[in-house]
Structure 1
Amino acid sequence: MKTSPAEIQLLEAKVAKFRQEHGLELGSPVDLEPLLKQLQVRTVFKPLDSSFSGMAMKYANKSYMLVNSDHSRGKQNFTIAHELYHLFIQHNFVPHASQAGRFGSQTDPEERNADWFAALLLMPASYIYVVASEAGEMEPRIQLTLPTVVKLEQDFQCSRQALLVRLENLRLITAAQKEEWAQSPAASARQFDYPTDLYRSTPQREAIGDYVALASRLFDKERLSETHYAGLLADFGVDIHSLGTETPD
């Protein structure tokens, strides 16, 4: 189901309020790791089933997040922003395994909201317009090029796929460009002399927060699929029966 323009405008207002409340400059890229520390979100990066991007939970007035380190760093960053919606914006949030970045194919409206919150937070339109204008790609008609797309994803530290969804929604690229430019993002970054760390998994990405002992136990266990997240809750010292449960999409 597609998110309506009115729904996106409402989410834009929520993003603006979130930025204001947490000292994030409007229209600028967000550095997520310092933000997670500021918000005291205890975050673990762990190899997981490919369809499981992450999850978040609140327990005893503390916030926790798990992110799939087998995904590219750009995808992980989108997942983090997606989970921030669940932790700080969504009312009556129930922990569940997420598949961030599906946008219109999400069956749960709150998952669609979380995807668009992430896109709006990580990829502010004003910054996109400034970069495109400086490249001379807004006048006399919109003509975004691949080098500008690569620069934007490097500045935003986001996934290529999420950026292309955002640009298409802003009507800055066509569906054909979206399909073409989704191919081989790392190769195009190398072509334009950008580093390729953004497109790689991060098996050694360090946990964030004050629970290193708990995090190390997670990394010692076998791979976790979306159907086994109850075990993750136990690793955080939480009895799943004390929480509501929700079936992932």
Structure 2
Amino acid sequence: MSNIAELRALETRKELGLAFYEPVDIFKVLHEIEGISVVIMEMSNKMSGLFTRKGKANLIVINSRKSLGHQRFTAAHEYYHFKYGKGVVSRICPIRKFADDNPEEREANIFALNLLVPADGLKYVLQKKTKGKQIGISDIIFLEQYFGVSHQCMLIRLRELGIINEQQKKEFSQNVITKAKEYGYSTQLYKDTSDKEIQVYSEYAELARKLLEAGRISYGKYEELLIEGGYAPLLFEPQQDTEGEINEFEDANSF
């Protein structure tokens, strides 16, 4: 029986006009289609991202210290809170493991996985790639590059669908960056983006920043504008005490 979050993900894909095998440009969906402000910036390494809303303003902040694949999953995860967490005003998401103990976080993970890597689409693309032959590491790297997800995320999806077993999952989890290079793929998906400046996808926040940089407003006024507009998280990183909690999905194999 399908989980409600899985059904919601498939319905969302239909609403977006996506073919069952088509990858999702999640950042474009959030900003250009849903009108959500998205900011990618350095945050505590214990956090993946956060979602907050104030009136009609909605903001998703994503940790640039996580791999690009992890960032894309986080974006889809926060999208769930935006669409279905109607009573949610603010939520901080560590995203440490797929089967999260928190029911709402677990639902958001299921939604994100099915939005980014729909089961039928994955099987279709895999069949086209392997033509029925046994799956190998090169096929897995191709799939995660195609759907734009982390290596660990793809392994979890393949294991969940019974395409690989637990032993294969362990064997395939090693040295993904090296393997990706060997097969001629970009390794950008497996690396963080903390070396880049803050990426802002928001007309309001971007305008405030441009006014500040041009010397048109003081930093105090800049802070005031962001706070009034519901963008306080850009100024004050929320504190999330996750000391001692295990994150199963770090570095290149990050979920």
Please, what TM-score do these two structures have when normalized by structure 2?
Answer: 0.77
Distance 1:173 1:237, change over 3 A: same
Q: Which residue of 1 aligns with 2:223?
A: none
Q: Does the 8 Å contact 2:53/2:230 carry over to 1?
A: no
Aligned letter for 1:131? V
- Are 2:187 and 1:167 aligned? no
Q: Does the 8 Å contact 2:27/2:75 carry over to 1?
A: no
Q: Which residue of 2 aligns with 1:28?
A: 22
Q: Which residue of 2 aligns with 1:176?
A: 167
d(CA) in 1 for partners of 2:200, 2:113: 23
Q: How many residues align?
A: 220
Q: Does the 8 Å contact 1:73/1:197 carry over to 2?
A: yes
The correspondence for 2:202, drawn from 193, 200, 209, is: 209
Q: Secondary structure at the match of 1:167?
A: helix
Q: Secondary structure at the match of 1:87?
A: helix
Q: Secondary structure at the match of 1:111?
A: helix
Q: Which residue of 2 aligns with 1:222?
A: none
Which sections of structure 2, spanning at least 5 residues, go unmatched? 212-225, 243-255
Summarize the alignment of residues 143-154 of structure 1 with structure 2, pairs less than 5 Å apart. 143-154=134-145
- The alpha-carbon deviation at position 62 of structure 1 amounts to 1.9
Q: Does the 8 Å contact 1:29/1:155 carry over to 2?
A: yes
Q: Does the 8 Å contact 1:101/1:115 carry over to 2?
A: no
Q: Which residue of 2 aligns with 1:59?
A: 54
For each residue in 1:194-232, what CA deviation from the matched residue of structure 2 results, as whole angstroms up to 9, or x when unmatched?
011111211326211212155689xxxxxxxxxxxxxxx
Aligned letter for 2:164? I
Please, what TM-score do these two structures have when normalized by structure 1?
Answer: 0.79
d(CA) in 1 for partners of 2:210, 2:61: 13
Which sections of structure 1, spanning at least 5 residues, go unmatched? 1-5, 218-232
d(CA) in 1 for partners of 2:96, 2:25: 19
Q: Which residue of 2 aligns with 1:194?
A: 185
- The alpha-carbon deviation at position 17 of structure 1 amounts to 1.6
Summarize the alignment of residues 1-249 of structure 1 with structure 2, pairs less than 5 Å apart. 6=1, 8-36=2-30, 37-100=32-95, 102-104=97-99, 106-136=100-130, 138=132, 143-203=134-194, 204=196, 206-210=199-203, 211-213=205-207, 234=227, 237=230
Distance 1:212 1:12, change over 3 A: same
Identical residues among aligned pairs (%)? 28
How much is the aligned-residue C-alpha RMSD, in angstroms? 2.7
Q: Does the 8 Å contact 2:130/2:139 carry over to 1?
A: no
